[in-house]
Amino acid sequence: MNAESSIFTKIIERQIPASIVYEDEKCIVIKDINPKARVHLLIIPKKEIPTLFDLTPEDRDLMGHMMLLLPQLAQSQNLEGFKIQINTGEAGGQEVFHVHIHLLGN
């Protein structure tokens, strides 16, 4: 881990506690500490990618894996529908520079 690791990397490495909902070899899912809906989960890849602008072709399977996980997570939270959000760059409202998907539902 380098000195510039994101808070999400610190959560993945268990240096900071979080409410973990799901984890596999590619990603971790936690409850947002400042929820904007009844269900507000963050789907975070274990690979530290700062923004969507930094994705490479080798990240295709990882991003596809995370997208396919979304309906499963929504069903596990008894959601009949949901929305997702990915903030990209400071101008796009991104606060933590480690790609993540917000899953929100009521």
Q: Active-site positions?
A: 100
Q: Count the residues in the chain.
A: 106
Distance in angstroms (rounded) separating the CA atoms of residues 57 and 90: 23
Burial class from Cβ neighbours inside 10 Å (0-12, 13-18, 19+) for residue 73 reads buried
